[in-house]
Amino acid sequence: MVIEIMTELENLKKEWESIFSCMGCGECGFAINPMVGIDLTCPVKEALGEEAFEIHFSRGRMSVLKSILEGSIPLSKELAEFVYQCTECGNCTETCHQSDENVVLNISKWIDHCKVWNALRKDLVDAGFAPLERHESLIEWMNNENMKNPYGEQQVKKYEWISAFPNIKEKGELIFFGGCTMPLRQENTLKNMMKILQVAGIEVAVSRDEWCCGSIGLRIGKSGEEIIKRNVDLLNKMGAKTVFTACAGCYRTLKKDYPEILGEELPFEVKHITEILIDLLNNDKIPFKPPEDEELKVTYHDPCHLGRHMDFYEIPRNVIEKIPSVKLIEMKRNRNHAWCCGAGGGVKSQYPDMAKDISKERIKEAIESGADILTTSCPFCIGNLKDAYDEMGQEVKEKIFLIDIIDLIASKI
């Protein structure tokens, strides 16, 4: 069979093999199989409930993309409204053809669904049907030299927290990339991180002029290559040998997207804050208070940008297990099949109610685990989980406490 592909779809054309390899089995929307740890797949489909239909999960989107490539369906604003109702969590990729652990088809090993969705978003942007209204503001603010962040805040506000730590250097081999969410929305957690590093005797450098990492733009479909070059140049001039971040989105973007877009390896190593913390814990560098008699049960939520996107599962768990008077327990869905918090892929900004509904499902699952505390290692996850948590009422707050892994450690020193 000869497939005639529309010529102007520059990004989707590169993914045509993945798109036409979709067999339409539907496991990406309906799979429930305890044998391989699958318990539902698409958070958007489940959040929409009876309102959901094919285009809200991978099988339907793949069918639409086949028709687009064949020229039967055009790109449109209406299509964009559906396309951005996806957190790009990547659970569809994990589930693809995995219903039987003894029968794994080869195509399940190489179809990267999020890569396909990003290609579609890029073509929608190029065709003028995206960004959507809220996304357009985020990108405008991110590229504004007086802001350099997607929250529309003045740049100086992003560095107000630094005044509490006069010993922070402006240059050095170990550099903290602050990102946007933690400095602007979770300043106390950022301060706790610096306190932990200081008591451990770690000196870090922080720039007062970094741009947003660009993750927001990349997920929406804007490449942001200029921002990437500016950040890499800035970090180089600071003398970076290791750059670490406390944001899962920044981590994925710096470590994976930057070298892919630039076409070369970065001149410095990129780490997540939990990699710094586990080294300190393994070397007894964090002076904990004496263990408490009562043990707290803690469950960990895997951020999609750490877990499925970067195969980064065990180090945050190792950190938790090193904290005195803490016992790690798992939610039913964890690691590569963890339920998304609902904030990614631009969903939080454009469809905030949907994002919170997905987070509420995750919080209920944490309660069902029997945990006293729900923790994670991503400020974006924390922000959306907290918004949902605050809406769920006092009964939920009496059952479980939500906290960043950094704050959990800080509470014990």
Is pLDDT above 80 for 258? yes
Work out the percent of the chain whose per-residue pLDDT is above 90: 87
> Are 74 and 68 a contacting pair, CB within 8 Å?
yes
Is pLDDT above 50 for 165? yes
Rounded-to-integer distance, Cα 252 and Cα 320, Å: 21
Q: Which residues pair with 299 in a beta bridge?
A: 329, 374
Digit-coded pLDDT (tens) for 134-159: 999 999 999 999 999 999 999 999 99
> How many Cβ atoms from other residues are within 10 Å of residue 195's Cβ?
16
The residue type found at 114 is C
pTM: 0.94
Work out the percent of the chain whose per-residue pLDDT is above 70: 94
> How many Cβ atoms from other residues are within 10 Å of residue 214's Cβ?
28
Poorest-confidence range of 91-100, 200-209, 269-278, 285-294?
Answer: 91-100
Mean pLDDT, the chain, rounded, equals: 93
User: What's the pLDDT at 8?
Assistant: 81
Taking residues 282-297, report their average pLDDT. 94
- Read off the pLDDT band of 2 (50, 70, 90): very low
Is pLDDT above 60 for 191? yes
Q: Which residues pair with 326 in a beta bridge?
A: 296
User: What's the pLDDT at 107?
Assistant: 60
- The yes or no reply on domain 133-280 and CATH 3.40.50 is no
Place of tokens 């400020």: 379
Q: ∠352-219-12 over CA atoms, to 5°?
A: 125
> Are 235 and 245 a contacting pair, CB within 8 Å?
no
Poorest-confidence range of 32-41, 121-130, 188-197, 211-220?
Answer: 32-41
Is pLDDT above 50 for 375? yes
User: What's the pLDDT at 1?
Assistant: 43
User: What's the pLDDT at 408?
Assistant: 98
Taking residues 227-231, report their average pLDDT. 97
The class (CATH top level) of 289-410 is alpha beta
User: What's the pLDDT at 36?
Assistant: 58
Q: Which residues pair with 38 in a beta bridge?
A: 33
Digit-coded pLDDT (tens) for 239-257: 999 999 999 999 999 999 9
User: What's the pLDDT at 31?
Assistant: 76
- Indicate the domain borders of the chain: 10-126, 133-280, 289-410
Is pLDDT above 50 for 352? yes
Rounded-to-integer distance, Cα 5 and Cα 137, Å: 33
Rounded-to-integer distance, Cα 131 and Cα 57, Å: 20
User: What's the pLDDT at 225?
Assistant: 92
> Are 405 and 186 a contacting pair, CB within 8 Å?
no
| Phi and psi angles of residue 303, each rounded to the nearest 5 degrees, phi first | -65, 140
Position with higher pLDDT, 105 vs 298:
298
